[in-house]
Amino acid sequence: MQTPFYLIDRSKLARNMAIMDELRHASGAKTLLALKCFATWPVFDQMRQHMDGTTSSSLYELRLGAEKFGKETHAYSVAWADHEIAEAVTYADKIIFNSISQLDRFDNQSASIARGLRLNPRFSTSGFDLADPARPFSRLGEWDAGKIETVIDRISGFMIHYNCENADFDLFDRQLTRIEDEFGPLLKRLKWVSLGGGIHFTGDGYPVDRLAARLKTFSDRFGVQVYLEPGEAAITGAASLEVTVLDVLNNGKDLAVVDSSVEAHMLDLLIYRISGRIETDGPHQWQICGKSCLAGDVFGEFGFAEPLKVGDRLSIADAAGYTMVKKNWFNGVKMPSIAIRELDGSITLSREFGYADFVGNLG
Ligand SMILES: Cc1ncc(COP(=O)(O)O)c(C=O)c1O
Ligand SMILES: NCCCCNCC[C@H](N)C(=O)O
């Protein structure tokens, strides 16, 4: 198959989905796929057997979730526009407003379905200011319990997203206790609470049993259905970006240019200033570079068993979360195809992109 392509591996996805089931069954919590992280719908047939539905950040994600995943569909947006709300309500089982003012504005249009409000507990586990929902002056949710009390009879749930790649169960436990202590009287008046995403429960060694027990205690204490909104936890480790070396040179370091681009195909690495990951080891240190004209278009430096040469195939790990949803046409670099490694090992080409897609994207 012609590189570049994203390769989603169903057996790796199955590993995460098995943990998803373990957590759901032991805790009673429902899990909704966060489409902002991963929305590659050709593998939804597999995911829908192990998750309860989807949650969204926009009208289009909401519609995609309703049409391609089905089951329970949560509609969240930082701000709904007037022209979106009537359509949004037709797809959603629950609509979650980011602010009291949006709840007020769309009070009539949303009265036919369950409504929730985003609560901002004013702390998070994010190590990145950019991704910290509790950053100073954050617009993400309401935090004043007195104000929320005045609208509590119009909502049946809260969405509280405050974790980010949190692999530390004890930290999760402590922060949930803070939420219970600070917002307990409000929580008692609700039917459901979504604790958002960002809990790294499919990571190696994560104590899934303790998380399940903690969620169950929370659910029992407040009489609420708990939801989680995993993005990363659902798909971590399940996809790679397959590329080919196009050129090699040495400008003080050994450099290999591949037929892909960080800026265009793994943008999150640049945004968060982190290195990509290649499962390789060896004495030959090479910098793997993208083919766009951006000077810093670099996937990272890795050790290889042999010096690289033109035509070598490389596999860049963790290409599912916040990666495929962010691919773009920067420099007109050919957009990676989407391929799926089936459970029997065969590979299905799901989608190829060409010049027509590039042109169509711009006018
Ligand atoms: C409201 C909400 N829910 C869920 C998620 C998914 O988080 P993660 O992919 O870290 O699990 C996010 C991330 O942006 C979010 O903002
Ligand atoms: N891997 C580098 C950090 C990525 C942070 N992801 C942020 C998305 C997240 N769900 C959020 O914005 O809360």
pLDDT one-digit tens code per residue, 72-87: 999 999 999 999 999 9
232 within ligand 1 shell (Cβ under 6 A) = yes
* Range 191-211 average pLDDT: 98
Q: What is the pLDDT of residue 336?
A: 98
Annotated binding-site residue numbers for substrate: 232, 268
Residue with tokens 């195939």: 313
Over residues 245-263, the pLDDT tens digits come to: 999 999 999 999 999 999 9
Count of helix runs (H) and strand runs (E) in the chain: 13, 16
Instruction: Give helix 10-27 / helix 208-222 axis angle, nearest 10°.
Output: 40
Q: How many CB atoms lie within 10 A of CB 353?
A: 15
Q: Where in the chain is the domain with CATH 3.20.20.10?
A: 10-234
Q: Out of 160, 322, 325, 326, give the residue to mutate to test ligand 2, the one with the largest number of ligand atoms within 8 Å of its CB.
A: 322
Average pLDDT, the chain: 98
Q: How far is the CA of 36 from the centre of ligand 2 (A)?
A: 10
196 within ligand 2 shell (Cβ under 6 A) = no
Please state whether beta strands 192-194 and 5-9 pair in parallel, antiparallel, or not at all (unpaired): unpaired
Nearest ligand to the CA of 234 is: 1
pTM over 0.95: yes
Q: Which atom of ligand 1 is nearest to the CA of 321?
A: 9
Over residues 260-278, the pLDDT tens digits come to: 999 999 999 999 999 999 9
Identify the architecture of domain 239-319+327-361 in CATH.
Beta Barrel (2.40)
> Rounded distance, CA 90 to CA 308, Å?
54
* Range 107-117 average pLDDT: 98
164 within ligand 2 shell (Cβ under 6 A) = yes
197 within ligand 2 shell (Cβ under 6 A) = yes
Nearest ligand to the CA of 130 is: 2
Question: Under CATH, which number does the domain 10-234 receive?
Answer: 3.20.20.10
pLDDT confidence bin for 352, thresholds 50/70/90: very high
Over residues 161-174, the pLDDT tens digits come to: 999 999 999 999 99
Over residues 137-158, the pLDDT tens digits come to: 999 999 999 999 999 999 999 9
* Range 184-212 average pLDDT: 98
Which of 76, 74, 62, 87 is closest to 30 using CA atoms? Answer: 74
Q: Out of 23, 30, 37, 124, give the residue to mutate to test ligand 1, the one with the largest number of ligand atoms within 8 Å of its CB.
A: 37
CA geometry: angle at 157 spanning 124 and 107, to 5°?
115
Q: Where in the chain is the domain with CATH 2.40.37.10?
A: 239-319+327-361
Annotated binding-site residue numbers: 232, 268
